[in-house]
Amino acid sequence: MGLHFGNLAKVRHVITYSLSPFEQRAFPNYFSKGIPNVWRRFTASFFKIAPPMTLMYLTYSWGNNTYMQGKRKNPSDYQNDE
């Protein structure tokens, strides 16, 4: 009764190749190429990302400190109250 999902269309003139997962190496060149590649990508993007993030953090903390200082009461306004 009808076609099953995955066999809905007939594709012609397309050749697919696959390799069994049991014949593949799970982590080829992991230590020799993988870790240096991660380090290269990290150092390439760090100096693009870190300065704006640092600037935004400093601006945020400065704004919070200024806001909290503005909310404080001035003790000299209440010296003569009884």
CA–CA dist 69, 56 (Å, integer): 20
Provide the pLDDT for residue 1.
56
The reported pLDDT for the residue numbered 39 is 94
For position 60, what pLDDT does the model report?
98
The model carries a pTM of 0.53
Q: How confident is the model at residue 2 (pLDDT cuts 50, 70, 90)?
A: low
What pLDDT does residue 12 have?
Answer: 86
pLDDT in tens, 6-56: 777 777 888 888 878 787 787 888 889 989 999 999 999 999 999 999 999
**How is residue 13 written in tokens?**
């003139």
